Chain A
Amino acid sequence: MDDEPSARLLIARVLQRAGYDVTPAASAEEAIEMLEKGRRFDLLITDKNLPRINGLELIRKARATIADLPVVLITAAPDAAAISGERLEAYLAKPFKNLNALEEAVHTAFEANKVHLARQEMQRTLNDLVSQLQARNKTS
């Protein structure tokens, strides 16, 4: 998602060449509409500074539909964005250092998401074990 036509087109082209299926959206509203219509995505790339609904807001809304959606945030100041409390898998500064940086960011996001999911899984297993242990303690 980027409101800048040329940036949007560039991101789409680069990622399509890398073999991804890319759906560009011209505004946060358009992206939200697609999500609400039930379309599913594996990754969200969004600019932070957008008119009306900003990037962080869009991330929150998207995760309301797809809980573990990995995100690449395009921003000049990652620190400020991090404060928002939203989990962010990767950052990207404009203008991009090179096109590889874009692909790398996407790759990083997927990897980070895998780590995130794995940690979640492990957390769940741990929680199960803890609850089983607690149940056993009660019966004995």
Chain B
Amino acid sequence: MAGLAMRLSIRSQIVLLVSSVLLVAMGIYLALATQLFTSDKLEALSESNAQLAGTLAEEVRGSVHATVDKLLYFGAEMAELSREPSAGNPHRPATALFANDPDILGVEIWEKEGPSYRRLFQEGCTEHLEPLRVPPELLEQARGKVPMNADLVKQSGGVLLQNASLPPFLPLLRLSAISQDGNRVVVADMKPSRLVPAFNRAFQRAETYLVDGQGMVLVHQDDARVLAHESRSQWGAVRQALQAPGSEGQHEFEVPGGTRLGAWAKVRPGKMAVIVELPKAETTRSAWELVQKSVAFAMAVLVVALVLSVFFARRVSDPLLALQEKMESVSRGDFGVEVEVSSGNELGALAAAFNRMSRELGARERALLEAHQQLIQSEKLSALGEMSAGLAHEVKNPMVGICGFSELGAHVDTLEEAHEYFALINADAQRANEILQNLLAFARPEQVALSSLDVNETVHGAVQLFAHQVQLGGVKLVTSYADGLPMIMGSANQLRQVLINLAMNGAHAMSGSQEKVLTVSTQLAPEGRVQILVKDTGHGMSEETQRKLFRPFFTTKPKGQGTGLGLSVSKTIIQQHRGEISVKSMLGQGTTFTVVLPPTPPSARPKAGGVAPAA
């Protein structure tokens, strides 16, 4: 897992961290909010249901009571008319009743005769029936289905409301009221339309209805339930409403569709009850909606946060990437590069610090280069000193010829002899000149510019410089130059210095050896490179010595004979040539130094025939 964290960029880690914190916070908030919301909603809904049930019960009671009063008055009036027929038109009270109440479709009056009741009067209101397309026979049929039952009316406190609906289209209520003396029962067939709007006031998902003493639905928002004569006697809230002693209450109960919250209120007289119920799920519905909306909101916030964080992270990581790039170029040795300081924040400070470091590195690099240049020069002078004896001898030899033959020339007997001496003098003078040229070339202060060189030519120039010195020590010098080597980029002087150094070391190593052979050869190395080998048959080196060989000031020579810088300077020079220098040695068997140099890149190569390799 740590590996994963390492692989993710800082940007992704920040984004992940922010997102997870955001999600966890959102989750906790949602859980708390949902809980609070649900309990609050449950309480509010229960209360509003109870209030609604109470209000509706009051309204039903008021409405029924008003109608009952009207009916009983009408009954009394009709009884009076029947006793005194001369008093007026027997249809007048009914007409007045119908005109007064548009919901009453028909009316009956029953009078007690002995143990039973006899229908004294019945009339349907054609004005009210006609718009409903109900013929009077249908009304009569409905009356037959729910016949007048005075005992029932008495049991329910003198007022009885019954469902007399005629499916499939006529919801009908039958309201029966008994007179105070119990001799007369007035029955009205009514549309429930006056009550329905009140029941529609309920909370949208709530079911609001009125039941009679048997649990039959009397009024419902949905007419179909009334038309179907639906019984709710098995519903918990209805059962409690009909059986409990109080006038109102609440009850939570199970139905096949789930848990429901019910509130009930009794309507007296009439043994009726108003029920308001709704699925308990309703209380969590809003909470669920909140969760859904919150999740959507969280997602949106997350997306925006991601986009923003990518944007801001880029503002952080882009300068970091730029910085990293520059750091890499510094690590490659390109000191002194600087990044743009674009902001005043920590990144800007970092960039500024980097620039300071880079500048300092650049300055140090320059100082180091300068010191190194001086070191190379001083090492060269030291090598020069070492060679001076040999060089003096080198120059002296041709001088013997020049001085001698020119003097001898004064005493010649023949012209041929003079010519011979001039030729000899000329040859020696040329030789002396060549030696001096090589010496000058070597001693000249360094110009670091690299140019395209022929390896064999360069090596041969170096060999000429050290050949005599090496041979004086009794060393046999063997050279072997490979043909067709590519040109290399280099400084002839510096390479000469390296080779002289290696040759002198080799000669020194062989001072006590039986066999003294120094082999200098050039070869083609892999990848088109060129290698120069300097091999001696000297005493060889221990592994310890080989390891320390290229360190500055490491020397095996007696004090005062070596600076200990030759090989370290040589290594630096070869590295500046983008080459490699390595050593292979066996104690008592000799040592081979190998210098590998890259070929001149095609871009820097002179045009064909520009530089002819030396023979």
List of A residues within 8 angstroms of B613 by Cβ: none
> Is B398 a contact of A6 with CB atoms below 8 Å?
yes
List of B residues within 8 angstroms of A96 by Cβ: 400, 403-404
Closest to A97 in B: B403
A98 within 8 A of B: yes
Tally of contacts, chain A with chain B, CB under 8 A: 58
> Is B397 a contact of A10 with CB atoms below 8 Å?
no
> Is A10 a contact of B400 with CB atoms below 8 Å?
yes
Which of B325-333, B405-413, B537-545 has 4 or more CB atoms under 8 Å from chain A? B405-413
A49 within 8 A of B: yes
A14 within 8 A of B: yes
Q: CA separation between A17 and B402, bound complex, in Å?
A: 18
> Is B396 a contact of A10 with CB atoms below 8 Å?
no
Give the B interface residue count (CB, 8 A): 21
Bits for A75-107, please: 1 = Cβ < 8 Å to B, else 0. Answer: 010000000000000000011101100100000
The minimal Cβ–Cβ distance linking B144 to chain A, given in whole angstroms, is 156
B212 within 8 A of A: no
Q: Is the interface of B mostly helix, strand, loop or mixed?
A: helix
Bits for A10-27, please: 1 = Cβ < 8 Å to B, else 0. Answer: 100110010000000000
Q: CA separation between A7 and B474, bound complex, in Å?
A: 20
Q: CA separation between A95 and B404, bound complex, in Å?
A: 8
B306 within 8 A of A: no
List of A residues within 8 angstroms of B296 by Cβ: none
Q: CA separation between A14 and B424, bound complex, in Å?
A: 15
> Is B427 a contact of A6 with CB atoms below 8 Å?
yes
List of B residues within 8 angstroms of A13 by Cβ: 408
The minimal Cβ–Cβ distance linking A1 to chain B, given in whole angstroms, is 14
The minimal Cβ–Cβ distance linking A81 to chain B, given in whole angstroms, is 14
In-complex Cβ contact of B400 among A17, A54, A94 (8 A): A94
B310 within 8 A of A: no
The minimal Cβ–Cβ distance linking B260 to chain A, given in whole angstroms, is 124
A111 within 8 A of B: no
The minimal Cβ–Cβ distance linking B410 to chain A, given in whole angstroms, is 9
Q: CA separation between A9 and B428, bound complex, in Å?
A: 12
- With A52-B474, A95-B402, A96-B403 already in contact, the answer to whether A4 and B397 are too (CB < 8 A) is yes
> Is A14 a contact of B471 with CB atoms below 8 Å?
no
The minimal Cβ–Cβ distance linking A99 to chain B, given in whole angstroms, is 5
Q: CA separation between A32 and B408, bound complex, in Å?
A: 29
Q: CA separation between A35 and B8, bound complex, in Å?
A: 89
> Is B405 a contact of A10 with CB atoms below 8 Å?
yes
List of A residues within 8 angstroms of B407 by Cβ: 98-99
Of listed B400, B401, B411, B472, residue having the most chain A CB within 10 A: B400
Closest to B393 in A: A49
B524 within 8 A of A: no
Closest to A74 in B: B400
Within 8 A of B (CB), among A51-67: 51-52, 54
Bits for B413-438, please: 1 = Cβ < 8 Å to A, else 0. Answer: 00000000000100110000000000
> Is B403 a contact of A95 with CB atoms below 8 Å?
yes
Within 8 A of B (CB), among A29-71: 49, 51-52, 54
Q: CA separation between A35 and B405, bound complex, in Å?
A: 29
List of B residues within 8 angstroms of A49 by Cβ: 393, 472
List of A residues within 8 angstroms of B427 by Cβ: 6
B195 within 8 A of A: no
B399 within 8 A of A: yes
> Is A99 a contact of B472 with CB atoms below 8 Å?
no
In-complex Cβ contact of B428 among A6, A14, A17, A102 (8 A): A6
The minimal Cβ–Cβ distance linking B7 to chain A, given in whole angstroms, is 68
> Is B472 a contact of A94 with CB atoms below 8 Å?
no
- Give 6 A-B contacts (CB < 8 Å), ordered by A residue: A9-B424, A10-B400, A10-B404, A10-B424, A95-B396, A99-B408
Top 9 A-B residue pairs of the complex, sorted by shortest distance between their CB atoms:
A6-B401, A10-B404, A95-B399, A7-B400, A51-B471, A95-B400, A94-B396, A95-B403, A4-B397
Q: A13-B408, A96-B403, A98-B407 are in contact. List 11 more A-B contacts (CB 8 A).
A: A4-B401, A6-B424, A6-B428, A7-B400, A7-B401, A51-B472, A76-B392, A94-B399, A94-B400, A95-B402, A96-B400
The residues of A with any CB-CB pair to B shorter than 8 Å are: 4, 6-7, 9-10, 13-14, 17, 49, 51-52, 54, 76, 94-96, 98-99, 102
